[in-house]
Amino acid sequence: MESMSILSLIANATIPVKIVMLILLSLSVASWYMIWQRQTVMSKTEKAQASFEERFWSGIDLSRLFVQVNTDPNPHCGQENIFRAGFKEFARLRKNLNSDPDSVMEGTERAMRVALLREQEKLELHLPFLATVGSTSPYIGLFGTVWGIMHSFLNLANQQQATLAAVAPGIAEALIATAIGLFAAIPAVVGYNRFSSVVDRLLHSYETFSDEFSSILHRKAHSGEADDK
């Protein structure tokens, strides 16, 4: 039964099937790396978000908070980046004494929307790749399966007597390609679904924060207050 071991079947597989297996293994390794990388980023982002929200709603002066986040920025905190972009634009526009409060708020909200889009791009990094691996890997494995079965039956045609021993190795080789395709696809699909859910939750919190921060700045712009919430 040594000749029917998985390693020997892979070693004795035809060149096209070996290429399929190599592609699938490469996709699987890349997927696991991206899953690990996304998990690390999401974890840091959620922790940074909780920390910033605590500081923002603690009653700290906005100008003081702006100085703090500029001095020690956290690249993983999306709300901090939105706050920095919005407050910077707000302060810049208000330096113009003739600026209309509505114009100030329009420019501020536009700056926050741009910052929000940048955060969305960062959060969704690598997700399309995981989705592609999850959807295409089974088909790549199926190609290897079809080729292996076809090759097995072609060899069977050259045999004087059709036996299970003659056709079994080729079919087993073909099924290994399918198994590797599923091995690559399943983690990618699970990772994509999980991270898509996390991204949606984070983006919703970013949008909520943008609306709340915009309301605070709206009161400041129309009341003439400079530094308090």
Q: H or E element: which one contains 45? A: helix 15-56
The lowest-confidence range among 34-43, 112-121, 148-157 is: 148-157
| pLDDT top residue among 11 and 202 | 202
Span 194-223, average pLDDT: 90
More confident residue, 99 or 164: 99
Could you report how far apart the first and last alpha carbons of the chain are, in Å?
A: 77
> Does residue 23 form part of some domain?
yes
Residue 228 lies in a domain: no
Which DSSP state fits 22?
A: H
pLDDT computed for residue 2 by the predictor: 44
Q: Is the pLDDT of residue 61 over 90?
A: no
E strand intervals along the chain? none
In a domain? residue 112: yes
Domains of the chain: total: 1
| pLDDT over 50 (residue 229) | no
pLDDT at 40 over 80: yes
DSSP string spanning 88-153? HHHHHHHTSTT--HHHHHHHHHHHHHHHHHHHHHHHTTTHHHHHHHHHHHHHHHHHHHHHHHHHHH
Q: Give residue for tokens 């999306």.
A: 78
User: Band of the pLDDT at 45, cuts 50, 70, 90?
Assistant: very high
Smallest CA-to-CA distance from 223 within 105, 67, 89 is with: 105
Domain with 174, as residue range(s), is 2-223
Residue 227's pLDDT is what?
44
Asked if the structure places residue 156 within a domain, the reply is yes
Rounded to whole angstroms, what are the CA distances from 193 to 23, 30, 126, 174?
23, 17, 13, 29
101 or 152, greater pLDDT? 101
Question: What does the alpha-carbon distance between residue 193 and residue 206 come to, in Å, rounded to a whole number?
Answer: 20
Quick check: is 186 in a domain? yes
Query: Roughly what angle, to the nearest 10 degrees, separates helices 101-123 and 164-223?
Result: 160
Q: What is the mean pLDDT of residues 140-158?
A: 78
Q: Distances in Å between the alpha carbon of 80 and those of 39, 106, 171? A: 20, 20, 57
Mean pLDDT over each residue of the chain, to the nearest integer: 84
User: Is 229 inside a domain boundary?
Assistant: no
CA–CA gap between residue 135 and residue 120 (Å, rounded): 23
